[in-house]
Amino acid sequence: MEHLKIFRWLLDVDSIWPVPIGASKSAQSTAHWATVKATSHALALLTDGERAKALRFYRPSDAKLSLGSNLLKHRAIANTCQVSWSQAVISEGANKKPCYKPVAPSCKSLEFNVSHHGSLVVLVGCSGEDVRLGVDVVKMNWDKDYNTVMKDGFEAWANVYESVFSDREVKDIAGFVPPTRGTQQDEIRAKLRHFYAHWCLKEAYIKMTGEALLAPWLKDLEFRNVQVPLPASRMNASGQSGSDWGQTCADVEIWLYGKRVTYVRLEIQAFREDYMIATASSSLEVAFSAFKELDVERDVYPFQER
């Protein structure tokens, strides 16, 4: 598998397909948003089912993520499998995980996974069927979580997630001591970032397996030595200063049923101030490429539509 490489894409939909300036609050619906020329053009590139799914969201912000997710899937299939846009059909595999099913055994195949949160859509992919992939992007919800922690305490807040994490992980999350001292607000923010790092890593691993957060072995999957990646703003000049991309951490230990898992590549990277992205691969031999930030007009839309 030396010739393989895992590509990673990021699309920020925040400024794409905007709702018209000056529109009244009642017009901020997805139905109104869909009539805008740029939006209707993008929606027309989806299948009827994909378009209907996107338009079921009440808020345009959610519809944008659905639209962007499907566009990235089509582009990844078309590029990797060398098929036309109309032939880049998104199917469902086991556990309804999106996949591409080649029309013939001789055709190229693709493994991919997508995640979206906030205004970001991320996709990871690799040619062939030898590697399984999972990705998760998470945006920290500072205000909501901070208020809850201040009201109930951090330990009580962490215990809400005891069905997702092992007993050791819950204890680790609840008892985390930030490496640097600061104000009470700084301490809580650091503890929340540590929690979100745990969450992001677990999601990526589970998605790699094709399971969901209802997997019966969820509490038997445990992450130790979880490092929280620093955002770019806190890195020194030698570490991507001036970039949106922060630190990458790849030293996490994976344990399942009490045994160390050593055959999975797993890393987490900070993006801007509030995002973290975790990527999981079933192969240690295939390298991760750096994330590529895409321009929807230049990099995503079908060539004849640009």
Beta bridge partners of 253: 224
| Tokens, residue 202 | 């677990």
Cα 105 to chain centroid distance, Å, stands at 30
Neighbours of 222 (CB within 10 A): 20
What span, in angstroms and rounded, lies between the C-alpha atoms of 94 and 202? 19
Residue position matching structure tokens 């490092």 = 227
Output 263 or 159, whichever has higher pLDDT.
263
pTM: 0.93
Give 104 or 202, the one with higher predicted confidence.
Answer: 202
Residue 106, pLDDT score: 78
Average pLDDT over residues 45-53: 96
Do strands 98-99 and 120-127 pair parallel, antiparallel, or not at all (unpaired)?
unpaired
Q: Which of 93-107, 232-246, 249-263 has the lowest mean pLDDT?
A: 232-246
Q: Give me the percent of the chain exceeding a pLDDT of 90.
A: 69
What are 293's strand-pairing partners? Answer: 10
Mean pLDDT for 277-285 is 97
Residues 53-78, mean pLDDT to the nearest whole number: 95
34-51 burial, b for 16+ CB within 10 Å, e for fewer?
bebeebeebbebbeeebb
pLDDT in tens, 135-182: 999 999 888 888 888 888 888 888 888 999 999 999 999 999 888 778
Give backbone dihedrals phi and psi of 227, rounded to 5 degrees, phi first.
-100, 140
| Residue 228 DSSP code | P
DSSP for 133-192?
EEEEEEE--HHHHHHHHHHH-HHHHHHTTTTTS-HHHHHHHHT---SS---HHHHHHHHH
Q: Is 77 helix (H, G, I), strand (E, B) or coil?
A: helix
How far from the centroid of its chain's Cα atoms is residue 11's Cα? Answer: 11
Mean pLDDT score across all residues of the chain = 90
**Domain range 137-282, CATH class:** alpha beta
Query: Phi and psi for 65 in degrees, rounded to 5?
Result: -65, -40
- What's the confidence (pLDDT) of residue 241? 52
pLDDT of 248 reads: 98
pLDDT value of residue 237:
46
* pLDDT of 58: 86
6-131+293-305 and 137-282: identical CATH topology: yes
175-232 pLDDT, tens digit each: 998 887 788 888 999 999 999 999 999 999 999 999 877 788 999 999 999 999 999 8
Please, is 226 exposed, middle or buried when counting C-beta atoms within 10 Å of its C-beta (0-12, 13-18, 19+)?
A: buried
Fold category of 6-131+293-305 in CATH:
Ribosomal Protein L22; Chain A (3.90.470)
Report the distance separating Cα 268 and Cα 305, nearest Å. Answer: 35
Residues in the chain: 306
Sheet holding 6-12, edge to edge: 110-117, 120-127, 6-12, 288-293
Domain positions in the chain? 6-131+293-305, 137-282
Residue type, 159: N
Work out the average pLDDT over 7-32: 80
Examine the pLDDT at 306 and tell me if it is beyond 50: no
Q: Does the pLDDT value for residue 235 go beyond 70?
A: yes
Quickly state the pLDDT bin for 27 (edges 50, 70, 90).
very low
